[in-house]
Structure 1
Amino acid sequence: MSNPLKLGLAGLGTVGVSVVKRLALLENELAMSAGRSMRVTAVTARSRDKDRGVDLSNCTWFDDPVSLATNDDIDVYVELMGGDSGAAEDSVRAALKAGKHVVTANKALLAKHGNELAKLAEENGVQLNYEAAVAGGIPIIKTMREGMASNAISRVYGIMNGTCNYILTRMELEGLSFEECLQDAQRLGYAEADPTFDVEGNDTAHKLALLTSLAFGTQIEADSIFLEGITSLTTDDIKAADELGFRIKLLGVAQKTDTGIEQRVHPTMVPKSSAIAQISGVTNAVAVDGDAVGSITMSGPGAGGDATASAVVADLVDVARDFKIYPLGRPAAELQPYVRAKMRAHEGGYYIRLSVNDRPGAFASIAQRMAEHDISLESIVQRRSNGYFTNAQSEASEVVKPQAVVLITYETTEEAVRKALQQIEEDGHISAPPQMIRIERL
Structure 2
Amino acid sequence: MKTINIGIIGIGTVGSATILLLEKNKDLISARAGANIIIKKGVVRDISKTSKDIKIPLSTNIDDILEDEEINIVIELMGGIDTAYEVAKKALKNNKALITANKAMLAYHRLDLQNISDNIGFEASVAGGIPIIKALKDGLSANHILSIRGILNGTCNYILTKMTNENITFEECLKKAQKLGYAEANPSLDIDGFDTAHKLIILSSIAYGINAMPEDILIDGISNISQDDIFFANEFGYKIKLLAIAKRIDNEVELRVHLAMINQNEMISKVSGVMNGISVIGDNVGETMYYGAGAGGNATASAVVGDLIEIIRSKSSPMLGFKKSLESGLVLRDINSIESRYYLRLKVLDKAGTLAKITSTLGENNISIKMLIQKESNDKSYATLLLSTHKSNELNMKKALDSLYKLDVVNNKPFMIRIEE
- Following the alignment from structure 2 to structure 1, what is the Cα–Cα distance between the partners of residues 236 and 120? 45
1:276 to 268, 283, 287: 268
1:73 to 67, 70, 82: 70
2:115: which partner in 1? 119
Gaps of 5+ in 2: none
Does the C-alpha gap of structure 1 residues 426 and 31 become closer, same or farther in structure 2, counting only changes over 3 Å?
A: same
Identity percentage over the alignment?
38
- Following the alignment from structure 1 to structure 2, what is the Cα–Cα distance between the partners of residues 101 and 428? 62
Does the C-alpha gap of structure 1 residues 405 and 259 become closer, same or farther in structure 2, counting only changes over 3 Å?
A: farther
1:295: which partner in 2? 287
1:410 to 383, 386, 390: 390
1:184-333 equivalences under 5 Å are 184-258=176-250, 260-331=252-323
Pairing 1:439–2:419 present: yes
Deviation of 1:359 after TM superposition, in Å, equals 3.0
Contact 1:353-1:407 at 8 Å conserved across structures: yes
Deviation of 1:340 after TM superposition, in Å, equals 2.4
- Following the alignment from structure 1 to structure 2, what is the Cα–Cα distance between the partners of residues 386 and 298? 43
Which whole-Å deviations, capped at 9, do the CAs of 1:187-234 have from their partners, x for residues lacking one? 110000100110000100000000011111222422212110000101
- Following the alignment from structure 1 to structure 2, what is the Cα–Cα distance between the partners of residues 411 and 51? 54
Farther off after superposition, 252-261 or 144-153: 252-261
Does the C-alpha gap of structure 1 residues 297 and 284 become closer, same or farther in structure 2, counting only changes over 3 Å?
A: same
Residue 418 of structure 1 aligns with an amino acid whose one-letter code is K
Residue 36 of structure 1 aligns with an amino acid whose one-letter code is A
2:410: which partner in 1? 430
TM-score norm. by structure 2 comes to 0.96
Which whole-Å deviations, capped at 9, do the CAs of 1:375-416 have from their partners, x for residues lacking one? 2221121113465xxxxxxxxxxxx33210111111221221
Deviation of 1:337 after TM superposition, in Å, equals 8.0
Deviation of 1:21 after TM superposition, in Å, equals 0.9
2:15: which partner in 1? 16
Farther off after superposition, 338-347 or 278-287: 338-347
Contact 1:346-1:438 at 8 Å conserved across structures: no
Deviation of 1:51 after TM superposition, in Å, equals 4.9
- Following the alignment from structure 1 to structure 2, what is the Cα–Cα distance between the partners of residues 361 and 253? 38
1:177: which partner in 2? 169
Deviation of 1:350 after TM superposition, in Å, equals 1.0
Does the C-alpha gap of structure 1 residues 6 and 182 become closer, same or farther in structure 2, counting only changes over 3 Å?
A: same
- Following the alignment from structure 1 to structure 2, what is the Cα–Cα distance between the partners of residues 235 and 352? 13
Farther off after superposition, 62-71 or 237-246: 62-71
Farther off after superposition, 374-383 or 290-299: 374-383
Deviation of 1:372 after TM superposition, in Å, equals 2.1
Contact 2:254-2:338 at 8 Å conserved across structures: no
1:153 to 121, 145, 153: 145
Deviation of 1:360 after TM superposition, in Å, equals 3.0
- Following the alignment from structure 1 to structure 2, what is the Cα–Cα distance between the partners of residues 334 and 380? 45
Does the C-alpha gap of structure 1 residues 407 and 333 become closer, same or farther in structure 2, counting only changes over 3 Å?
A: closer
- Following the alignment from structure 1 to structure 2, what is the Cα–Cα distance between the partners of residues 95 and 372? 57
Farther off after superposition, 275-284 or 334-343: 334-343
1:394: which partner in 2? none
Gaps of 5+ in 1: 388-399
RMSD, matched Cα: 1.7
2:381: which partner in 1? 401
Contact 1:357-1:402 at 8 Å conserved across structures: yes
1:103 to 63, 79, 99: 99
Residue 269 of structure 2 aligns with an amino acid whose one-letter code is A
Contact 2:123-2:304 at 8 Å conserved across structures: yes
Pairing 1:43–2:39 present: no
2:122 to 99, 114, 130: 130
Which whole-Å deviations, capped at 9, do the CAs of 1:15-61 have from their partners, x for residues lacking one? 1111111111111111111111212111101122335243424x3x3
- Following the alignment from structure 2 to structure 1, what is the Cα–Cα distance between the partners of residues 31 and 416? 54
Residue 7 of structure 1 aligns with an amino acid whose one-letter code is I
Which whole-Å deviations, capped at 9, do the CAs of 1:321-379 have from their partners, x for residues lacking one? 011111111127988487321334545x1111111122332211111122222222211
- Following the alignment from structure 1 to structure 2, what is the Cα–Cα distance between the partners of residues 17 and 345? 43
- Following the alignment from structure 1 to structure 2, what is the Cα–Cα distance between the partners of residues 371 and 350? 14
Residue 43 of structure 2 aligns with an amino acid whose one-letter code is T
Number of aligned residues:
420
- Following the alignment from structure 1 to structure 2, what is the Cα–Cα distance between the partners of residues 135 and 386? 42
Q: Which of structures 1 and 2 has the bigger CA Rg?
A: 1
